Amino acid sequence: MQDFIKVEGLKKTYKMGEIEVNAIRDINFTISEGEFVVILGPSGSGKSTLLNLLGGMDLPTQGTVFVEGKELTTYDDRQLTEFRRYKIGFVFQFYNLMANLTAKENIELATEIALNPLNINEIIQEVELDERANHFPSQLSGGEQQRVAIARAVAKNPGLLLCDEPTGALDYSTGVNILKLLIRVNKKYNKTVIVITHNAAIAGIADRVIKLRSGIITHNEINENPIDPERIEW
Amino acid sequence: MKKLDVRVLRVLNRSKTQYIAITLVIIIGLMSYIAFGMAMNNLDVTVKDYYELTNFADGYVDFSSISESNISKVGEINGIENIEGRIIDEVKIDIEEENVRAKMISIPEIDGINQLFFKSGIKTLDSDREIFVVSQFAKARGYSIGDELTIIVYGKKYEMTIKNIVDSPEFVYLIENEQTLLPDAKKYGVIYVTQAFAQNVLDLGNSYNEAVFTVEEDIVVQDVLDEIDENYDKFGIVGMTDKKNQISNRMLNEEINGGRQMVSVIPVIFLSVAAVIMVFMINRLIKNDRMMIGVLKAMGYTNKNIVFHYSKLTVLIGLVGSIFGIVLGFRFSGMMAKLYVDNFFNIPMLTAVFYPVFAIKAILMSSVFTVAAGVWGSRSVLKIHPAESMRPEPPKIGKKIWLEKFDKLWSKIQFDWKSIIRSALRNKKRLFFTMIGVAMTYSLSLMPISIVDIYDVLFVSQFEEFQTMQYNVNFQNFVSDTNILDIEKDTQASIIEGKLEIPFEIENGLENKIVTMVGINQETQMYHFTDINGKTIQIPDEGVLITESVVNTFGYQVGDEIFLKTYIPGKDDISVKVKGIIKQSLGINMYINIDYMQKMMVDKGLINSVMLNSDEDVKSILEDYPMIASVQSLQDISDMFMEFMDYTIYSVTLMIVFAGILGFAIVYNSGIMTINERQLEFSSMRVMGFSKIEIFKMITRETLIISIIGILIGVPMGQAMLISIGETFNNDLYTMDLAATPIAHLKTAALTSCFVIISVVATYEKIHRLNFIDALKNRMT
């Protein structure tokens, strides 16, 4: 079976004034379609940089990234935009919803540019926001906002969901609910989900766990027995 | 509706005041453009229609006397379409204790030249004692049909009955002559009498003293006048005027041309200001939305999508501004045109043509400015990298400002002032724009404020500094200067001088104009001549002093020889040397030694006017003098001036309101942007215990410093604007020395400060609403 994501010899170096920062140093891994992956690492390990490279938001200094057999690293700006538009759904730590749009409108904002979006009402039901759909972000709790963000990412019907510390700003029980929602999305819609986090407890729910430290993969293994988010604690 | 479009509406709704202020600027720009532009076009069309309907004359030739047959001979000149003889002269209206005069004209032929316009009623005069009166005069004096009035022609009284009130294309703007500052229909009117009556009272037999004519299409009137002058001087030509120089028509055309120039400038100023504010506003919004733009890009929105999104904000503001501007512009254009035809001028009809092209041009102008502002303002979207935008923006590098080089000075400045100065100097573009905005508000306010002062200065310089006589007494013809003694005795004049005023035609290149030469004593006490540098000069023994307006019209300089065509029968044309150029605010004249002039043009000892100062009631005393045509007092002119000033105050107020809105939009928006930019800083200060008032004071101080600098820039800028406007409006009737007085500058500075203070107070609401807890959250929702 062809790898859904294939990363080879990936390097990313930033220039910060006079200093060069090697955020990612020679990374290689593959991810299969439909996998729920947790990329684990402490702050400054290169997680977000990796997520940005996988999501076509940034280009590597060296190496290649293949998604569904297409080499992202050869894409120009227009192709990267198209890739993000049709193939990727992002979920951010601080939700990043449009303050001036209601929950439902935030989701519609994504579906308006999608080729084959999912049914919005169904997604809203799925994230259990039927009652809150017409509320503005400022009227929603953190957990509700993150559910909107997930719904927005899923509604476009992308193949890959990239989640940057999706529980980072939430309390424990809300965080668990969000993880459950992500697993539900992963299973029900067969989306490949990559969650990056510094929270080691979350690793237990993943099909695959990749650990990063100082821009290098220190651990990449399949979790044969993923556990229910209800059973994890932090 | 697309969700990003929904966001546009909500963004607009969130900062309503800011956007309304910008929209108002656009509305004013476009409203003025359409209202003035259409009014000018309609005025132009109306005048043309009116002239066509009444068969307005193309040329006028004054004779001492000309017979019907000779008029027919003149009419044979190639190019003349129709010619008519008529009788015209100045008469007095017999009203107790008032000096009221009128031009008496024999009624034109039915369907003839310069036909009268009758709103209703009788169109013919059946008896020699019946007259028609022009409507301005009738209205000002309260005359109605059937009223009786007594006219005095050469000392003889005639009882006349008003048969109808009429309008004439010749007197759309009714002023006595080019020296008259403003129309005064209460003191000067026009009456129409039968030809027989006019011939009889002026002792003209069957002759006329003026020929009016129209020319065939494509014929140059001046060529016809030249030919008449060349071939028929023998008939005793005393003056000539073409349609272009006919005083009423000239004033009308100058108003239309001046108005059209304003029309082309006003929208550009207002739309430019609106566009610059919008560029800053969009720039600020994009900085605030940096992370959101990153999210949109992460979701797959293209740069084009996002630039369009922000441009829609400015386009929408432009669209709303255009709709209101167009609707109000069309609404007011009718009122403006009506104001022109009824109040400024006297045209009994209005051809109201709707010009959709103004709406199209307004939309185009607004679109160009708002689209440009939107695209230019949102170009920074292109620089936002989606991955980087997810991280909070690093703080700006806090470089030292130049003032900090002066250690001793800088160390003495308090913390809050340091913050204010740094904030102002670090955002140079906005600092510059706000300063220029305030300067522009100052300049635009200086103009209307100065107009009041300028007219005042114009009045003072002409009637108190340049001319110092209290009365001007004009004779009906040349009289012996021995009359001066009688008048001196009767009026107990403290000073009295004779004067000789003769009109000449000057032709130089394409310019052709009648200019009055004034002969006065070299030691005159009634005139104070100064050269263009303000240095006193005297009338030369020989040669003439010319006014600046002669220089501007004909380009003559000192040492040039001026060829003067005379209309005094039996006198040859002359040429005189220019000996000096003098300042004169009103009118176009030449001044000459009276002895020299008498020698050249009339007999020694002849005058046709007297100037005098007296504490007696000169008008009453001279009322029954047979040879006197008119007595004009300085008081008459002063009264007329005050009436005019009352009228001017409305347009001045309107212009000040426009300038105020412009100033408000600039200063308010700049203040809001400062608050938005420094929200985190202010929130931190609130957490530290600073009160809202203390923060408000900091912003106020920053705005006030910028405004003071803006006002200082506004002084020379306003002055330059005044001069350029003066150059547009200066003509041979007015020569305005457009320097704003210190008082005008003080008034303008106070007014601009008021606009700034109102804008600053309005920003307090934003400070009041500042939620420092929310603002300290580092993320957008």
- Residue B178, number of CB atoms within 10 A of its CB: 22
Residue B503 and residue B424 in one domain? no
pLDDT of the residue at B775: 58
Mean pLDDT, all residues of chain B: 86
Maximum C-alpha span of chain A: 52
Q: Which residues contact B725 (CB under 8 A, 6 or more apart)?
A: B447, B738
pLDDT of residue B14: 82
B198 with B91, same domain: the answer is yes
Of the two residues A234 and B776, the one the predictor is more confident about is A234
Q: Give how far B744 is from chain A: nearest CA, Å.
A: 48
Query: With bands split at pLDDT 50, 70 and 90, how would you rate the model's confidence at A227?
Result: very high
Domain match, B343 and B373 both:
yes
In B, minimum Cα distance to A156 occurs at: B299
Q: Is the dihedral of CA B572, B578, B582, B588 positive or negative?
A: positive
Structure tokens at B356: 């959709």
Last residue of a domain, one of B554, B582, B613: B613
Residue A37, burial from CB neighbour count under 10 angstroms (0-12, 13-18, 19+): buried
User: How does pLDDT run across B159-194, given as a tens digit for each residue?
Assistant: 999 999 999 999 999 988 766 667 888 889 999 999
| Domain-embedded: residue B196 | yes
Range with the largest mean pLDDT of B128-137, B235-244, B256-265, B666-675: B128-137
pLDDT at residue B510 in the model:
67
B458 and B475 in a single domain? The answer is no
Percent pLDDT > 90 in chain A is 63
B365 in any annotated domain: yes
Closest chain B residue by Cα to residue A99: B781
φ, ψ (nearest 5 deg) of residue B691: -85, 165
**Among residues of chain B, what percentage have pLDDT more than 70?**
93
Mean pLDDT of A112-131: 90
B619 inside domain:
no
What are A76-117's pLDDT values in tens digits?
988 998 999 999 999 988 888 888 889 999 999 889 889 999
Last residue of a domain, one of B564, B581, B613: B613
Average pLDDT, chain A: 90
Q: Is residue B401 part of a domain?
A: no
ipTM here: 0.80
More confident residue, B99 or B271: B271
- Residue B781: which of A85, A109, A137 has the nearest Cβ? A137
Q: B247, B282, B298: which is the final residue of a domain?
A: B247
Question: Which residue in A85, A90, A99 is closest to B781 by CB distance?
Answer: A99
pLDDT tens column, A45-54 = 999 899 989 9
Mean pLDDT confidence for B424-428: 76
Query: Average pLDDT of B440-451?
Result: 84
Homologous superfamily of A5-226: P-loop containing nucleotide triphosphate hydrolases (3.40.50.300)
Nearest Cα neighbor of A178 from A207, A203, A204, A151 is A151
Number of domains in chain B: 4
Arithmetic mean of pLDDT, B755-780: 74
Judged by a CB distance cut-off of 8 A, whether residue A165 touches chain B is no
Instruction: Say how many CB pairs under 8 Å bridge A and B.
Output: 89
* pLDDT for the residue numbered B392: 60
Tokens linked to B691 = 């009160």
Same domain assignment for residues B448 and B384: no
Distances (CA, A) of B434 to A195, B447, B674: 48, 20, 11
- Asked if B554 and B697 sit in the same domain, the reply is no
For residues B620 and B87, the answer to whether their CB atoms sit within 8 Å is no
Ordered by start, the domain boundaries in chain A are 5-226
Q: How far is A92 from chain B (nearest CA, A)?
A: 9
State residue B779's pLDDT score: 45
* The Cα angle at residue B93 between residues B89 and B97, in degrees rounded to 5: 140
Judged by CB atoms closer than 8 Å, whether chains meet at B300 and A57 is answered as: no
Q: Which helix (H) or strand (E) holds A164?
A: strand A160-164
Strand partners, A164: A196
Q: Are residues B50 and B64 in the same domain?
A: no
CA distance A158 to chain B (A): 10
Angle, CA B557 vertex, CA B536 and CA B459 arms, to 5°: 45
Kindly calculate the radius of gyration of chain B based on its CA atoms and give it in whole angstroms.
Answer: 33
DSSP B439-506: HHHHHHHHHHHHHHHHHHHHHHIIIIIIB--SEEEEEEEEEETTHHHHHHHHHT-SEEEEEEEEEEEE
Q: Which of these ranges, A152-166, B29-43, B204-218, B458-472, has the smallest mean pLDDT?
A: B458-472
Across the interface, of A57, A90, A108, the residue whose CB is closest to B3 is: A108
Q: What pLDDT is stored for residue B537 in this prediction?
A: 92
Type and span of the H or E element at B212: strand B208-215
Q: What is the pLDDT of residues B255-284, one digit of tens each?
A: 888 888 888 888 998 999 899 889 988 988
* Whether residue B387 is found in the same domain as residue B417: no
Residue B426 pLDDT exceeds 80: no
The torsion angle over the Cα atoms of residues B525, B630, B587 and B213, rounded to 10 degrees, is: -150
Kindly state whether residue B13 falls inside one of the protein's structural domains: yes
Residue (of B513, B523, B535, B525) closest to B590 by Cα position: B513
Chain A residues with CB-CB distance to B292 below 8 A: 96, 98-99
Selected residue with higher pLDDT from B438 and B689: B438
pLDDT given at position B749: 93
Return the SS3 of B183.
coil
B292 shares a domain with B221? no
Specify which residues B211 forms β-bridges with: B61, B85
Residue B728 reports pLDDT greater than 70 = no
Residues B81-85, mean pLDDT to the nearest whole number:
95
Predicted pLDDT of residue B773 = 60
Look at B385 and A58 and tell me if their CB atoms are within 8 Å.
yes
Structural domain span for residue B176: 59-247
pLDDT of residue B780: 42
Does residue A126 belong to the interface with chain B, where contact is any CB pair within 8 Å?
no
B241 shares its domain with B341: no
Prediction pTM value = 0.74
The Cα of A91 is separated from the nearest Cα of chain B by a number of Å equal to 10
**pLDDT tens across B499-553, in order?**
999 888 887 776 777 888 999 999 999 999 999 888 999 999 999 999 988 888 8
* pLDDT at residue B319 in the model: 94
Check residue B177 and give its pLDDT: 74
Residues B241 and B356 reside in one and the same domain: no
With contacts defined as CB-CB under 8 Å, which chain A residues touch B295? 90, 92, 96, 98
B777 pLDDT more than 80? no
Query: Same structural domain for residues B141 and B27?
Result: no
- Smallest Cα distance from A153 to chain B, Å: 8
Q: Which of A48, A109, A164 sits opposite B4 (nearest CB)?
A: A109
How far apart are the CA of B314 and the nearest CA of chain A, in angstroms? 18
Question: Does residue B781 have a pLDDT over 60?
Answer: no
Q: Are A142 and A169 in contact (CB under 8 A)?
A: yes
- pLDDT score, position B683: 76
Quick: pLDDT tens for B577-625.
999 999 887 778 999 999 999 888 888 889 999 999 999 888 888 877 7
> Does B656 fall in a domain?
yes
- pLDDT for residue B395: 53
Nearest-angstrom CA–CA distance, A135 and A119: 19
What is the distance, to the nearest Å, from the Cα of residue B101 to the centroid of all Cα atoms in its chain? 28
3-state secondary structure B311-337: HHHHHHHHHHHHHHHHHHHHHHHHHHH
Q: A95 — contact with chain B (CB < 8 Å)?
A: yes
Dihedral over Cα of A143, A149, A155, A161: its sign: negative
Does B671 map to a domain? yes
pLDDT digits (tens, 9 = 90+) for B222-240: 899 989 988 888 888 888 8
Which two structure tokens, joined as six digits, stand for A203? 């690793």
* 3-class state of residue B165 by DSSP: strand
Task: Report the distance separating Cα B245 and Cα A32, nearest Å.
Answer: 93
Q: At what angle do helices B16-54 and B3-14 cross, to 10 degrees?
A: 90
Taking alpha carbons only, the member of B87, B109, B112 closest to residue B197 is B87
B477 within some domain: yes
